[in-house]
Structure formats: C-alpha cells, structure tokens
Amino acid sequence: MKSEIRNPKSEGNPKPEIRNLTAAERVGQASRLSPSSTPLLTNRCAFPLAGDHPPPPSSLDVRDRRDACPTRRSQRGISLIECLVYIGLLGVIISIGGFTLAKAWDQSRAIQRNSDDIVRAIHAGERWRADIRRASGPIRVIAEAEGEQVRIPTAAGETVYRFATNTLLFQPRSDAPEVTLLAKVKSSRMSLEPRAQVNAWRWELELQPVQKQARMRPLFTFAAVPPKKTNP
C-alpha cells in the first residue's frame, strides 16, 4: 500500500497561470529587482519588446509620449517650397550683382576711352596753337565740300589742317605726307576772332561721344594769337 506524501503548501493553492508579460510589467519588474538602475528603464520612450502586442494608444497617450520624447523630433527640416524660395532669392541677388558689375565695367571702359580722346584732343590743340604762333604770313581758311582747310605759312613751309569725313588730317610741310591727327571728330571750325588790340584765332573742336546718351558734350575750344606782322 503506497503512501502519498502531500505537500501541505500545495493543497488549496491553484496552479499558477502562465501568461506573457507586457513591456510595462517587464519594466516594472526590472525596476523592482534593481532599484539602483537608471531612470531610462521607466522612461515612456521605451519601445515594446519583440512579441509584445500593446493595445492601440489613445490620442492622449500619443501626446504624452511625444512630450516625453522631445529629442526625437527636435530637428525641423525645410520643405521643398522654402528651398525653392531660397534658391529664387539667391538668383535675384546674383542677377542684381551681375547687372551692377556689368554696368560699372561699361562705365569704366567709357571713361578710359573718353580720357584717351581728351588727351589726343589736347595734344592736337597744343600743336595747332604752336603753329599759329609760328606763322610767318597771313593764315588762310579754304572751304571745301566735306569740310574746311586751314593753311598756316611758317619758316619751314606751309602747315595744313584739313577736316574731312569726321577726320582731322595734318600736313606739317608741303613736301611731307598727310597724316591723321584726330579721328572720330564730329565738327571742327577754325576762324579769326578780332579782339581789342589783336586778331586771335579760335578753334572749336567737338568729338563724337562714346555713349549714345552722353551727359556732357566732348567740346574743346582753343585760342592762339599769331605774331603781329601776320595780322591783316
């Protein structure tokens, strides 16, 4: 006859039910087992473990989790529209800068050309004044179909200034070839200007403007007095 040994502790105690623990219960057990563990174990940002099926969160739970995890969504990107706006603004700034640079470059080149023309006109005027002062006889002005011709007799020969087809030609002597003294001349007029005691000669020279809408006309005026013996 077999005797049954019963465990008095097992009598009256039902068999424990085996079930899977949820993530929150696992985190709670881990916190109870290790009280000195870091607070990250009880953080709301903990992700469910594999095999867990938590219930669908409500809108309040989603808001609480979003507030509890600010670092996950702290970085904010830019949209495609904002990127296109920035690109458009950059293009406008580059266009304005390029237009300003091109205009300044054109103005600089125009000033350079004007300065060269001014220097050539002044040199031609000084030469004309020197020839007027060296005149050894009466100065003659001959009108032509394309312009005029001024003949200045000197000790070395007759010096001729001739204006034709927007070009001022110069011949230092009768046996010397004719050379171009000034180009791009709009008008040239040499005339006798009687004054109180002497008869002076006046040369009005105007160059063609470099720009179509020039603020200032490139107009030059030179005056010279020949020797007294040549005055009529």
More confident position, 138 or 12: 138
What's residue 179's pLDDT? 92
What is the percent of the chain with per-residue pLDDT over 90, rounded to a whole number? Answer: 30
Q: Spell 10-42 as b/e; 16+ CB within 10 A means b.
A: eeeeeeeeeeeeeeeebbeeeeeeeeeeeeeee
Taking only Cα atoms into account, the Rg of the chain, rounded to an integer number of angstroms, comes to 52
pLDDT band at 170 (very low <50, low <70, confident <90, very high): very high
Q: Which of 7-11, 74-78, 213-217, 223-227 has the lowest mean pLDDT?
A: 7-11
Residue in the structure block whose two tokens are 């003949």? 151
pLDDT of residue 13: 54
CA distance 104 to 11: 105
Confidence (pLDDT) at 162:
92
**What was the pLDDT predicted at 52?**
53
The answer to pTM > 0.75 is no
Q: Inform me whether the pLDDT recorded for 73 exceeds 80.
A: no
Rounded CA-CA distance 97/110 in Å is 20
Strands (E), the chain: 140-143, 148-154, 157-164, 167-171, 179-183, 185-194, 199-207, 219-224
pLDDT digits (tens, 9 = 90+) for 25-52: 766 666 565 544 444 444 444 445 555 5
The C-alpha atoms of residue 229 and residue 122 are separated, in whole angstroms, by 27
**What percent of the chain has pLDDT above 70?**
63
